[in-house]
């Protein structure tokens, strides 16, 4: 509870073992990075099918590195051997736990409480949340000083940036340890304050929100918006990018930011995006989003 003394946890032990919780779009990429860089990594998901798909995707991701000559094939086997997929939460124990479950505060709270109960107080609990306040996440967790934001970008094995976010309670040594780990994973960590959407998602929100408005107002169809923006130099248009991110995840992030900014209309979620979510058209991961992938 908040009555606990602050900073009762000393500098964390060197991080030797990692667990990634949630094996969806982001979790699988983060787990790949960890095993690729030598860390024994537990990968947990509630859903056995998603976990099995994640294992296949990680093997394929490492295979691509071998094909490109960036990794010897023996190292691929060694990396795969470091991965321990599981649907048993009770074995999720590590020096650093990175959660990448659905963007819902209540789900993350319950998860961190369960993880806190079965891990040492020094275990760092990092969240890959795109939009939920780290301070609020940490407040419901025993020893909130070990809760920190570690925000990767999609696809995690390729995108160099990681935002490291300290909440009000986060111990500086914990943020330092996560920053150093991100560097060991070959990333470029950037410190961000605990403001809604941190840096990148806050600015990028308008790329999605405004594009959805353009389509909703029938100014242009979504594929035309993509084509135009790609022609001006964006690597992916907003609709192709939403399909990659997960239309459901993107919607949850916008919804969380709308709330966090006290319902500022500039962050209002879109009706057509809501409909895609309701219809189960969540993008590439479901075979259909704005585009068809089947
Ligand atoms: P996703 O829907 O692809 O995967 C979420 C996974 O979490 C699913 O496999 C689900 O089975 C699992 N899950 C749900 N509840 C769980 C629980 N209690 N315990 C264990 N597993 C549980 O979502 P995603 O896109 O990978 O997003 C995960 C997190 O990463 C979110 O917080 C999101 O905001 C953030 N994020 C997403 C992106 C992106 O581009 N998709 C980028 C950066 C950060």
Asked if 151 is an active-site residue, the reply is yes
Which homologous superfamily is 18-193 in?
A: NAD(P)-binding Rossmann-like Domain (3.40.50.720)
Overall average pLDDT of the 69-81 stretch: 95
Per-residue model confidence as pLDDT tens digits over 40-58: 999 999 999 999 999 999 9
282 is catalytic: no
Is 119 marked active-site?
Answer: no
Structure confidence at residue 1 as a pLDDT band (50, 70, 90): very low
Task: Tell me if 76 sits within 8 A of 63, measured CB to CB.
Answer: yes
Residue with tokens 């809604």: 196
Distance CA 47, CA 267 (A): 32
214 in Cβ contact with 225 (< 8 Å): yes
Q: Compute the distance between CA of residue 246 and CA of residue 257 in angstroms, rounded to an integer.
A: 17
22 appears as a binding residue in the annotation: yes
For ligand 1, mutation pick of 21, 26, 54, 129 (most atoms within 8 Å of CB): 26
Distance CA 286, CA 63 (A): 23
Catalytic-role residue among 119, 163, 252, 281: 163
For a ligand 1 pocket test, name from 19, 20, 21, 22 the mutation site with the most ligand atoms within 8 angstroms of its C-beta: 22
The predicted model scores a pTM of 0.94
Please report, for the chain, the start and end positions of each structural domain, with discontinuous segments joined by +: 18-193, 200-286
Provide the pLDDT confidence category of residue 13 given band limits of 50, 70 and 90.
confident
154 is annotated as contributing to ligand binding: yes
Cβ of 159 less than 6 Å from ligand 1: no
Per-residue model confidence as pLDDT tens digits over 135-171: 999 999 999 999 999 999 999 999 999 999 999 999 9
Q: Are 128 and 101 in contact (CB under 8 A)?
A: no
ipTM tops the 0.95 cut: yes
Catalytic residue among 128, 131, 145, 151: 151
C-beta of residue 45 within 8 angstroms of C-beta of residue 24: yes
State whether the beta carbon of 249 lies less than 6 angstroms from ligand 1.
yes
Long-range contacts: 267-273, Cβ < 8 Å, 24+? Answer: 267/205, 267/209, 268/209, 269/209, 270/209, 270/212, 270/213, 270/216, 271/216, 272/212, 272/215, 272/216, 273/212, 273/242, 273/247
C-beta 201 within 6 A of ligand 1 = no
Distance 168 CA to ligand 1 centre (A): 24
1 catalytic? Reply is no
Fold topology of 200-286: 1.10.1040
Residue 5 DSSP class: P
User: Would you say residue 10 has pLDDT above 70?
Assistant: no
């Amino acid at each position: 509870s908040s009555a606990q003394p602050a900073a009762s946890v000393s500098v964390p032990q060197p991080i030797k073992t990692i667990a990634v919780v949630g094996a969806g779009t982001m979790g699988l990429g983060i787990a790949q990075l960890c095993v690729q860089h030598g860390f024994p990594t537990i990968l947990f998901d509630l859903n056995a099918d998603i976990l099995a798909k994640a294992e296949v995707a990680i093997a394929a991701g490492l295979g691509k590195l071998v094909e490109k000559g960036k990794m010897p094939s023996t190292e691929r086997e060694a990396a795969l051997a470091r991965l321990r997929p599981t649907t048993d939460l009770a074995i999720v124990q590590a020096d650093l736990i990175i959660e990448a479950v659905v963007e819902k505060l209540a789900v993350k709270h319950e998860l961190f409480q369960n993880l806190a109960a079965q891990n040492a107080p020094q275990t760092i609990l990092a969240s890959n949340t795109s939009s939920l306040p780290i301070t609020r996440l940490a407040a419901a967790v025993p020893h909130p000083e070990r809760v920190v934001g570690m925000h990767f970008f999609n696809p995690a094995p390729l995108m160099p940036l990681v935002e490291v976010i300290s909440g009000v309670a986060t111990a500086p040594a914990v943020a330092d340890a996560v920053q150093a780990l991100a560097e060991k994973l070959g990333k470029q960590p950037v410190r961000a304050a605990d403001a809604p959407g941190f840096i990148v998602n806050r600015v990028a929100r308008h790329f999605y929100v405004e594009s959805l408005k353009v389509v909703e107002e029938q100014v242009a169809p979504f594929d035309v918006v993509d084509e135009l923006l790609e022609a001006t130099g964006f690597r992916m248009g907003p609709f192709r990018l939403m399909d990659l991110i997960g239309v459901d995840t993107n919607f949850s992030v916008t919804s969380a930011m709308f709330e966090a900014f006290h319902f500022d209309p500039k962050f209002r979620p879109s009706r057509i995006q809501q409909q895609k979510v309701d219809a189960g058209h969540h993008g590439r991961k479901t075979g259909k989003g704005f585009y068809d992938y089947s």
